[in-house]
Amino acid sequence: MSDNRPNPDWTDANFARAGDANSLSEAEQAAFPRTRGAQKAPTKVPVYIRLDQDVVAAFKAGGKGWQSRINRMLRQGLDRKPDKVG
C-alpha cells in the first residue's frame, strides 16, 4: 500500500469498494458541503509562489479569503506604480 494516499488507513479493498458521490442517495449527498464549482468565466490563473512564513501566517490569521487579500494587495501595488513592474 502506498503512503501517498489521501487516507493511508484505507486498504486496497476499501478503495475498490468506494463509489463516487453520484452513487450516494440525495440525503447522503445533502450531508456533504457544496463546493464552489467551475468559474463561469475563469479570470484567475493558479500559480505557485514562495512567500515568507510570517507573511502567510499574517494573511491566514485574517481568516477565509486570505489568498484573495494577497491578490488585492498585489493589485493595489500595481495600481500605484504600473510603470515600475518588471
Q: How far apart are CA 57 and CA 35, in angstroms?
A: 25
Q: How far apart are CA 67 and CA 16, in angstroms?
A: 36
Q: What is the pTM of this model?
A: 0.48
Q: Which three cell numbers stand for residue 31?
A: 450531508
pLDDT at position 20 over 70: yes
Residue 33 pLDDT level (bands cut at 50, 70, 90): confident
